Chain A
C-alpha cells in the first residue's frame, strides 16, 4: 500500500527558510508577477542571484558546485521561492532534473563541464522529450542521431520545449538505433547546445498569448561525439528516472497559489461564511498536499525512488491547482474593477490547461499509480 509518512522538516531546513525569506525581501522588486507558476518567469539575473546563494543544485556534490544539503532543505527553498512568485523558470529544469541526470549518468568531463555553471545560475536547460507525434507515448520518438566519423548527426523535431528560445542547452531523447522489437531499446539522451549547434527554434504562442514553449527542428545537425549522456541505448531507463524528479515537488501544487493569496486579501479579515468556506477548502487541500510532498522529500532523502508516490502527489496537486480558480470565482466577484485578484485569476486560469499535461498527463499518472497498486 502507498504510504506517506508523517515527516517533520528538520531544524536545518527551517533555519534556511528564514534566509530565503530575507533574500526574497531584498529581491522584492523582482517579484510582482501575477502568478506562482514555476514555468512562467524567466529571469537570468534573478537565477544568478539564487545560484550565488547556493540554492541551485543544493543536494549535489560540492565537487561540482553543489551544496551537499538535504532534500528537505531543497524542498524549503523551492516552496519559499514559488510561494513568493519568484521568477525561477530560467534555472528550474536544470536544477530539478538536467543536472541530476548528468551527475547520475554523465562522464566525468560532462559533469565538470555542465554542472558547475548550472549551480551558479548561469546555464539553463530545456527538456527535449515530446515530438509532433510523440507525447505521452514517449518511446515512439522519431528524432534520430546517427553516429558518423565527425559525431552525431541529428534529424527530427522536438516540441513543447519550454524556454528553448531562451536557454542554453536541451537534453534530447533520440533514437540512436533503428526501432526493433523492444521499443524501449535504442534510445539515447544527447546534450544539445541550443545556441550554437544549428537547431532551428520557433516559439509557439499559447492561449495566454505568451511565447514560452517551442518547436525545435534538427536538419542534419552535427554534434560532437561526447554529448551523449550515459550509455548509448540506455535513454529509456534514464528518462524514466528523470521523470521521477519532475513529479513530486511543490511546483505541482503551488501554480495557483497566488489566486489563493489574492482571494484572502480581497475578502479581508471579516469574511462572509461562503468566503471563509472557499478559503478553508483551498487551505485544507493545500496543507495536506504540502505534507504529502514533504513525505516524498523524506523518501528521496532516504535514497528511495518514490516514482509512484510522486505521480500520486502530482495527480492530486494538479487537480487542486485547477480547482483553486474554480473555488475562488464562486467566492469573489470577478466583474469588479481590475484587481490583483482578477489578474492572478485570469493568468492562472489561462495557464491551467497545462497543469495536468506537462510533466506527464493526468492519464499517464493514473496509469503509474495503477501500476503501483498492482493493477497492471
Chain B
C-alpha cells in the first residue's frame, strides 16, 4: 500500500463535504448525483484503479472503504473497476452481473453508455452497449438496474478476476459503513438520556457497544488484510475469508446499532439506516457469506489437515 495517504485524506474530505442526508435521500429516490459524480471525476477518483493511474490497486480499495463510510451515492467501485477493465473514462460505465442476454444489478445503467457484466464463474466478462433499462434497487435503495444490450462483446480483464475484485469492494465498503455505524451508535448513546443519565452509562448498553466495536474492528482488519493480498497468490482465499467475516459482522453490528438507537434509528429521518441498510445489502452482493465460506472451506479441505496450519499462518 502506498505510504502516501493524501488520496485517503482527500477522499474523506470530499466525500464528507458532499454526502449529506439530502443527497442520500435524493439518490435513493432515483435522482443521479450528477454534481458529485463530476467532483469525483475532477479529482481523479474515477481513474484511480486504472493501470496507469500511478496508484496501487490497494489504494483504490482504501478509497472505496472511505466511500462506504460515507454511503457515497455514486457507485465508485463499479465505475473505477469498469474504467480499469475498459481502459477508458470517456463514458460513464458501471458493472453488473452477466445473465444470458442481459445484465442485472447494474447501478445507474440509465446514466451509462457501457456496462460490464461479470460472472461468479471466473474471469470471463462482457461489455455491453446499454439498450433498454429496467430500473431497480437493492434493499438500501441503491440503483440496481437490468440492462438489455444493443451490442455485446467479451472483455479481457488481464490478470484480474472481476468477481473477486467486486467482492472485495463490497467487503471494504461494508467495513467502512460499519465504522460509521459504530460512530453513530457511540454518539447517540452519549446524547440520549433515560432514567436521568445518558444510556451509555448503563452496563447493558456498554456491553452491547463493546460487542459492536469488536465486530467492527474485525471487519476492518479482515478487509485490510484482503486488500493487502491483492496481486498475491493468496488473493482469492483472503478475499473469501474477508467477505465471509465482514458479512457475519454486518448482521451483528446492524442489529445492535438499531437496538441502541431505539425507535429513533427506525425512522427514515435518522441517518443510521443509510449505513445499516447498505451493510445488509452489500453482504449479499457478489457472493454472500456462505458462498465464500464454501469456497474457502473447499480450498482448505484440498490443502489437507496436515498442511492447514501452514495455510493459516502463511501471511501476517
Which residues of A pack against B, CB within 8 Å? 1-2, 4, 6-9, 17, 79-80, 83-84, 260-262, 264-265, 267-271, 273, 275-281, 283-292, 294-295, 312, 315-316, 363, 365-367, 369-370, 373-376
User: A376 to B300, Cβ gap below 8 A?
Assistant: no
Q: Is the CB of B308 within 8 A of A312?
A: no
**Which positions 212-226 of chain B face chain A at CB distance < 8 Å?**
213-215, 217-218, 220-222, 224-225
Most chain B CB atoms below 10 A, which of A9, A260, A264, A271? A264
Q: Cβ of B301 and Cβ of A9 under 8 Å apart?
A: no
**B266 CB within 8 Å of chain A:** no
Determine if B189 is an interface residue (Cβ-Cβ < 8 Å).
yes
- CB neighbours (8 Å) of B1 from chain A are 6
Q: Counting chain A CB atoms within 10 Å of each CB, which of B189, B200, B201 scores highest?
A: B200
Docked complex Cα distance between A101 and B14 (Å)? 48
Question: What are the residues of chain A within 8 A of B309 when measuring CB–CB?
Answer: 83-84, 261
B312 interface residue per 8 A CB criterion: yes
Give Cα distance in the complex from A265 to B293, angstroms. Answer: 17
Cα of A375 to Cα of B289 in the assembled complex, Å: 32
Chain A nearest CB, measured from B179 CB (Å): 8
Q: Which one of A84, A262, A280, A375 contacts B305 once the chains associate, using CB atoms below 8 Å?
A: A262
Contact of B297 (CB < 8 Å), options: A279, A295, A316: A279
Q: For B222, give the chain A residue with the smallest CB separation.
A: A288
Give me the interface of B with A, judged by CB distance under 8 Å.
Answer: 1, 179, 182-183, 186, 189-190, 200-201, 203, 205-207, 209-211, 213-215, 217-218, 220-222, 224-225, 228, 238, 240-242, 244-245, 248, 289-290, 292-298, 300-302, 304-305, 308-309, 312-313, 315-316
Which of B179, B213, B241 interacts with A312 by CB under 8 Å? B213
A283 CA / B224 CA spacing, docked (Å): 17
- CB-defined contacts of B228 to chain A, threshold 8 Å: 6, 8
Q: Check A279–B301 contact: CB distance below 8 A.
A: yes
In the complex, which residues of chain A have a beta carbon less than 8 angstroms from the beta carbon of B248? Answer: 281, 284
Asked whether B244 lies within 8 Å of A281 as measured between CB atoms, the reply is: yes
- Are A312 and B214 neighbours in the complex by a CB distance under 8 Å? yes
Q: Are A271 and B225 in contact (CB under 8 A)?
A: no
Query: Which residues on the B side are within 8 Å of A288 (C-beta)?
Result: 218, 221-222, 225, 241-242, 245
CA of A376 to CA of B215, assembled, Å? 20
Across the interface, do B298 and A276 meet the contact criterion of CB distance under 8 Å? yes
- Nearest Cβ in chain B — how far from A88, in angstroms? 16
The answer on a CB contact under 8 Å between A4 and B217 is yes
Distance (whole angstroms) from the CB of A270 to the closest CB of chain B: 7
Interface of A is mostly: helix
Are B301 and A283 within 8 A (Cβ)? no
A367 touches B217 (CB 8 A): no
Whether the pair A261, B220 counts as a contact (CB closer than 8 A) is no
Asked if A312 and B217 sit within 8 Å, CB to CB, the answer is: yes
Chain A residues, Cβ within 8 Å of B217: 2, 4, 292, 312, 316
Expressed in whole angstroms, the minimum distance between the Cβ of B186 and any Cβ of chain A is: 6
- Which of B221, B289, B292 is the most central at the interface, judged by chain A CB atoms within 10 Å of its CB? B221
Measured CA separation A4–B298 after assembly (Å): 29
Closest chain B residue to A285 by CB distance?
B245
20 contacts between A and B (CB under 8 A): A4-B220, A271-B298, A271-B301, A276-B297, A276-B301, A279-B293, A280-B240, A280-B244, A280-B294, A283-B297, A284-B245, A286-B312, A288-B245, A291-B316, A294-B316, A315-B211, A316-B217, A369-B214, A370-B206, A373-B186
CB <8 Å contact, A267 and B301:
yes
**Nearest Cβ in chain A — how far from B59, in angstroms?**
13
Task: Give Cα A316–Cα B217 distance, bound, in whole angstroms.
Answer: 10
Let me know if B295 and A369 touch, CB within 8 A.
no
CA distance A116 to B224 in the complex (A): 40
Q: How far is the CA of A283 from the CA of B299 in the complex (A)?
A: 11
Q: Is the CB of B210 within 8 A of A269?
A: no
A284 & B224 in contact (Cβ 8 Å cutoff): no
Chain B residues whose C-beta falls within 8 Å of the C-beta of A291 in the assembled complex:
221-222, 225, 316
Known contacts A261-B308, A288-B225; 16 additional CB pairs below 8 A are: A1-B179, A1-B183, A4-B220, A275-B297, A280-B240, A280-B293, A280-B295, A283-B241, A284-B248, A284-B292, A287-B238, A288-B245, A312-B210, A316-B214, A367-B203, A370-B206
* Residues in B neighbouring A312, C-beta threshold 8 A: 210, 213-214, 217
Tell me the minimal C-beta distance from A258 to chain B in angstroms: 10
| In the complex, residue of chain A having the shortest beta-carbon distance to the beta carbon of B307 | A264
- Which B residues are in CB contact (< 8 Å) with A375? 186, 189-190, 200-201, 205-206, 209
> A347 vs B94: C-alpha distance in the bound complex, in angstroms?
52
5 A-B pairs with least C-beta separation = A280-B293, A280-B297, A276-B297, A279-B297, A265-B305
Complex Cα–Cα for A261 and B316 (A): 20
Q: Is the CB of A370 within 8 A of B225?
A: no
